[in-house]
Structure 1
Amino acid sequence: MPSHRLGSYAILARGLLEGAGSHRTLALELERRARTQPTQAFLLYEDQRFDYARANRIVNSIAHAYRVAGLAQGDVLALVMENRPEFLWHYLAAGKLGIVVALVNTQTRGDGLAHALAVCGAARVIVGSECLPAFLAMGDRLSHELAERCVIDCEPGVTDSGTSGFAEFMPSEMVTDPVETAQRALGDTGAYVFTSGTTGLPKAAVMSYQRLTTVGRVLGALAWRFEPGDVVYNCLPLFHTHALVISLASVLTHGSTLALGRRFSAGGFWRDIRRYEATGFNYIGEMCRYLVNTPAGADDHRHRVRVIVGQGLQSDVWGRLQDRFAIPRIVEMYASTEGNIATLNLSGTVGSVGKLRLGGKLAKWDFELDDFVRDRGRLVPCGPGDVGVLLGPIRARTPFSGYRDTEATRAKVLTNAFRDGDALFNTGDAFRLDERKNLFFVDRLGDTFRNKGENVSTTEVAEQLARWPGIAAASVYGVTVPGREGRAGMAAIVLGEGARFDGGALAAHLDAALPTYAQPVFIRVRSTLETTATLKLSKLTLQREGFAPRKGEPIYIRDGADPAYTELTRERYLHIVRGETGAVHGQ
């Protein structure tokens, strides 16, 4: 009987209950597939095809090079590389030896990048030659000790990829399976994945091999429902667990094929889908909105896609995407990098992320007080129609591994919430519950909002704004924009005495300090910023005002193509609120 015909949540529970002492890691799966289906395609990239046997030999050569370099179980390897086969080879090679991979966001710049490299405790740093300019731009923020541990992996076929004096990575000539692979256990730490939080700098979430592997097994059975010949296309960044788990782990644990795109391109997306004869792809909501906003074409239905799996697909895009491109099945889900709770929408209910199951709790939230609603000290469960924060019970089958920072870990755990002795992970995400226990995403809480599929820390953005000489104070928050997923970044600023707003200089400063997705789209200039009784910046009024122009408070806008912030005119504001395509090009 096909696995997906079993009870859906029975399969999910079985996957979660797979013992931490099991040795079925992704690295071991690769070795097993190399023996049992050596000529089956594992990876397609541009014009290259890697079968399971060849991929395993390449990974082994890198693992042996790591061992010669003195790396062993528990050591940390920071990986800074864009989507290309070598990323997967390094990731899987580290898994064979029990080396913990710190997956660094390639869009991180300046202080954020230096912090990520330092806080993970890396014994070695592998930097793709395509990421070398950003790496070198850190200057003296990169310690001498860490610089000495950096090695450059030059992209094959790219000329003039000088290593600027750094050593170049060289694989070993040995290609045999390391004996250490079979000694790994699912309970071991496999990776650190950086996630933005309210602290303003990236936090290293601890990911076990169980999290990185078994979720793929579950998704392969329930979401993808793999069949012979299936090919999953992924163009989302591999440093995200979204790509590593939803696509890579699913494919590898089921012996299917992964087609890898360097990055997302709305214009070239379906060309790649047809090129690789993909039967599915993983998505984020913003990506899908780009796709439905491209001009319709005669080839829109000419593909083999039968299922897509992902997060953040809003209701208004769902139907348009499915109808226009004739996609039979959409599986929307919810999960966070560090969280211990996930949901799957297996019924196709438009807009839902799935049902509240497996012990998950939805606790009422007071948006005015910015705190949980309580009754005699206990949290209050949500009923149909209520909006609350999703909580995941911390127990043997749904552990919370936390972060390398113990204080940050403690801050995400609620104890004695509904009863004495309970412990729950606070996702910080608000959902609405319907009568059938379907969950509908509402928003993220606190000092983080989502933009273009990324979590943006308002604290980090505010710090960078305050570093610009002309700004005396800044409050950063997210605002909704018609026709745009998530929230666009906005800042209310107070200029220093005698300073004037220079949109070009500020744009150049932010380009050097922050990734594009984190830079404010709108900036409002005010004379003062309101604070609470505890001297915290009050953002609720600012968020409600949005980006509507007000007399005496000019608003400046910068989209993805502009070199500078320019004043938002009334005419352009009306274009944006009407949701007219192109009004905010940086969507």
Structure 2
Amino acid sequence: MSDTITWGMMLRKLPSIAKAIPRVVKGMKVANVKDPTQPCGLGWSFEQATLRNPDGPALLHGDVSLTYAQVNQWANRIAHHLIEQGIVKGDVVAVFIENRPELLVTILAVAKVGAISALLNTSQTRDTLVHSVNLVNPAAIVVGEELLAVFQAVRDQVSIDATRTWFVADQDTWSHPGIAPHGFVNLMTASVDADSENPASSQQVFFDDPCFYIYTSGTTGLPKAGVFKHGRWMRSSASFGMIALDMRPEDVVYCTLPLYHATGLCVCWGSAISGASGFAIRRKFSASQFWSDVHKYQATTIGYVGELCRYLVDQPPSADDGKHGVRKMIGNGLRPGAWNEFKTRFAVDHICELYAASDGNIGFTNILNFDNTVGFSLMSWELAAYDHDSGAPTRAANGFMRKVGKGEQGLLLAKIDDKAPLDGYTDPQKTEKVVLHDVFEKGDRYFNTGDLLRNIGFGHAQFVDRLGDTYRWKGENVSTTEVENILLQYPHISEAVAYGVEIRNTNGRAGMAAITPAESLATLDFSELLAFVRQQLPAYAVPLFLRVKVKMETTGTFKYQKTRLKDEAFDPGRTGDDPIYAWLPGTDTYVQVTEQVLSDIQGGKHRY
């Protein structure tokens, strides 16, 4: 394996390891809060950063630039208003706002109260949104004007008191709070005269208190709410901000990732707060505007997912590609094929690739700046042999699981102990499903990540793939069950199996579904079917390929043969009599895949 780390490679890193030791020791101390009476978490961290850098930029968005002192006072006013309205520690406040300063200030205010932000995915609509809200039984909701119509469509299906249904105008509300529509309370107007001092409640938040609910794809097709505690916030922000990136007040992190996900919110914003650094955000990622934003905000650090890097590489080359202040980047999903090209073309010194799951108990970080690795973890982990069809770990004759060797890929299992507790989900039964018992010895417990990694030596790992009933596309986890359920609602489809397939030179897996028509192929109107699916699913979850099957093959236990379907993918030369259809970018129907269409897709003519 060319990516295997050797003794020689390690020895060359010794000077940088020696230099990093003091901050690693300090970072580990901050990260591992053990005293149950020690205040900590998001609100506390932000207050510490404000003391350290009160007049430095904290939040940058468009032409808005707010200092740490300004953001802290703004969040304090909102926190005091929430307390006046009866929001107490442990209450859930659903937050439904796109990437902008108001989202982060609201989350910060909720954290200072000791309440829990339920971070609703802004792509969700209809039944999925109703499920996500009702799953956590919120005492209140804060809705951004940009998502008002989406919320209004489901408002009568979620029971939240009108006096606690807060509205945030879609503008710079620091300067102009705007006007709320009938039936909503304008959060910024209502809190404008509240106390701007730190609330006493932010000193009453401890490591075991929940900070957010972050939604992950459920195997039933509907999202699960993962619990993210304040102790984990401390581990995340210190591990990435102090240990991995060495963030300082003069740094600025530029993040275009959605802030309802842990990479954007906890890794990128957490790193910025850890260093009392600036945090520049954009509503949605733009490849053409990315580097001009980097210059505008004088960013030194960028947050990424693999897809984002590919879009940047696909932009026409420019003589200015390497002329910027970015020296480090943090994120996940940058595959080996694109790693060196990105690093060279854009002159980024350190790619701090990481691996973490918002619902898990383990994180890997590429602290030593090797190529093509998620780095190492300070937690205990093993890679176990697994069954290729079911994705489940296998047990040997003695009842225990088998560890795979160096260079082999295996299922990542993370040990659950005091150092790495599993916060789990809001539903204890769902948590129990991902916990394995008696794994390598009697009495041990491990979290099953459902991900395949490869051990490349010296404690370093390389991400390989995601198993199970989700796949990743456009930086989002897609639940195959959710896609199947939507397809089955279409009257002319009787069976549907969804899965992820690889398109050459793209990150993640694109959505594909094998479908059986209720009557015949002739009854399917592909334009109508695509319009139906696009209305029901977020854009990233709409299947790009369809395989029409007269009859669906199943295993002896009536499970669909997904492994074979994934393997044959959308190649008409391998799918026998089953016709394949593709939704090509910029069109509004599915067209049949011929050898020429396949060649165009794999050759990059169609940019997915």
Normalising by the smaller structure, the TM-score range is over 0.9
Tell me, yes or no, if structure 1 residue 28 matches structure 2 residue 44: yes
Q: Is the 8 A contact 2:242 2:274 kept in 1?
A: no
Q: Is the 8 A contact 1:15 1:215 kept in 2?
A: no
Distance 1:227 1:12, change over 3 A: closer
1:503 is aligned to: 526
Tell me, yes or no, if structure 1 residue 370 matches structure 2 residue 391: yes
2:83 is aligned to: 67
Tell me, yes or no, if structure 1 residue 166 matches structure 2 residue 181: no
Query: What amino acid maps onto 1:434 in structure 2?
Result: I
Of residues 450-459 and 150-159 in structure 1, the stretch that sits farther from structure 2 once superposed is 150-159
Q: Is the 8 A contact 2:381 2:413 kept in 1?
A: yes
The superposition leaves residues 37-89 of structure 1 with CA deviations (integer Å, 9 ceiling, x where unpaired) of: 32111111111111111111111111122112211111000001100000011
**In 1: Cα distance, 2:122 partner to 2:270 partner:** 21
Distance 1:235 1:356, change over 3 A: closer
**In 1: Cα distance, 2:541 partner to 2:22 partner:** 41
1:466 is aligned to: 488
**In 1: Cα distance, 2:345 partner to 2:40 partner:** 40
Distance 1:300 1:161, change over 3 A: farther
Tell me, yes or no, if structure 1 residue 392 matches structure 2 residue 432: no
Distance 1:540 1:85, change over 3 A: same
Of residues 61-70 and 429-438 in structure 1, the stretch that sits farther from structure 2 once superposed is 429-438
Give 1:126's match in structure 2, choosing from 123, 136, 142: 142
Tell me, yes or no, if structure 1 residue 45 matches structure 2 residue 67: no
**In 1: Cα distance, 2:256 partner to 2:115 partner:** 26
Tell me, yes or no, if structure 1 residue 404 matches structure 2 residue 426: yes
1:198 is aligned to: 219
Q: Which runs of 5+ in 1 are unaligned?
A: none
Q: Which runs of 5+ in 2 are unaligned?
A: 1-15
Distance 1:568 1:161, change over 3 A: farther
Matches within 5 A, 1:104-123: 104-123=120-139
Offset, 1:91: 0.4
**In 2: Cα distance, 1:15 partner to 1:224 partner:** 15
**In 1: Cα distance, 2:18 partner to 2:168 partner:** 40
**In 1: Cα distance, 2:408 partner to 2:48 partner:** 48
Offset, 1:561: 2.7
**In 2: Cα distance, 1:306 partner to 1:163 partner:** 45
1:80 is aligned to: 96
Q: Is the 8 A contact 2:33 2:234 kept in 1?
A: no
Distance 1:571 1:8, change over 3 A: farther
2:330 is aligned to: 309
SS in 1 for 2:298: coil
Offset, 1:166: 3.3
1:352 is aligned to: 373
Offset, 1:368: 3.6
Offset, 1:221: 1.8
Tell me, yes or no, if structure 1 residue 245 matches structure 2 residue 266: yes
Distance 1:524 1:393, change over 3 A: same
Q: Is the 8 A contact 2:31 2:234 kept in 1?
A: no
Tell me, yes or no, if structure 1 residue 445 matches structure 2 residue 467: yes
Offset, 1:235: 0.8
Tell me, yes or no, if structure 1 residue 156 matches structure 2 residue 177: no
Q: Is the 8 A contact 1:450 1:456 kept in 2?
A: yes
Tell me, yes or no, if structure 1 residue 179 matches structure 2 residue 197: no
Tell me, yes or no, if structure 1 residue 573 matches structure 2 residue 598: yes
Distance 1:16 1:422, change over 3 A: farther
Tell me, yes or no, if structure 1 residue 280 matches structure 2 residue 296: no
Q: Is the 8 A contact 1:448 1:455 kept in 2?
A: yes
Q: Is the 8 A contact 1:61 1:171 kept in 2?
A: no
Query: What amino acid maps onto 1:25 in structure 2?
Result: G
Q: Is the 8 A contact 2:32 2:235 kept in 1?
A: no
**In 1: Cα distance, 2:463 partner to 2:218 partner:** 19
1:6 is aligned to: 21
Query: What amino acid maps onto 1:131 in structure 2?
Result: L
Q: Is the 8 A contact 2:96 2:119 kept in 1?
A: yes
Offset, 1:148: 7.2
**In 2: Cα distance, 1:560 partner to 1:212 partner:** 39
Query: What amino acid maps onto 2:185 in structure 1?
Result: A
Q: Is the 8 A contact 1:110 1:512 kept in 2?
A: no
The superposition leaves residues 202-238 of structure 1 with CA deviations (integer Å, 9 ceiling, x where unpaired) of: 0000110111233111211222112441111111111
Offset, 1:559: 3.9
**In 2: Cα distance, 1:164 partner to 1:503 partner:** 41
**In 2: Cα distance, 1:120 partner to 1:513 partner:** 23
Give 1:103's match in structure 2, choosing from 119, 122, 129: 119
SS in 1 for 2:523: coil
The superposition leaves residues 104-151 of structure 1 with CA deviations (integer Å, 9 ceiling, x where unpaired) of: 1101122111100110111111111101122233376x2355777532
Give 1:414's match in structure 2, choosing from 414, 430, 436: 436
Give 1:523's match in structure 2, choosing from 536, 543, 546: 546
Offset, 1:302: 1.7
**In 2: Cα distance, 1:489 partner to 1:102 partner:** 27
Q: Is the 8 A contact 1:26 1:253 kept in 2?
A: no
SS in 1 for 2:386: strand
Query: What amino acid maps onto 2:144 in structure 1?
Result: G
Q: Is the 8 A contact 2:49 2:68 kept in 1?
A: yes
SS in 2 for 1:29: helix
**Over the residues paired in the alignment, what is the CA RMSD in angstroms?**
2.2
Tell me, yes or no, if structure 1 residue 220 matches structure 2 residue 241: yes
Q: Is the 8 A contact 2:30 2:234 kept in 1?
A: no
**In 2: Cα distance, 1:191 partner to 1:139 partner:** 22
Of residues 380-389 and 493-502 in structure 1, the stretch that sits farther from structure 2 once superposed is 493-502
Instruction: Provide the aligned length of Structure 1 versus Structure 2.
Output: 582
Offset, 1:328: 1.2
Distance 1:538 1:23, change over 3 A: same
**In 1: Cα distance, 2:130 partner to 2:146 partner:** 17
Q: Is the 8 A contact 2:119 2:215 kept in 1?
A: yes
SS in 1 for 2:600: helix
Tell me, yes or no, if structure 1 residue 429 matches structure 2 residue 451: yes
**In 1: Cα distance, 2:159 partner to 2:304 partner:** 39
**In 2: Cα distance, 1:157 partner to 1:355 partner:** 41
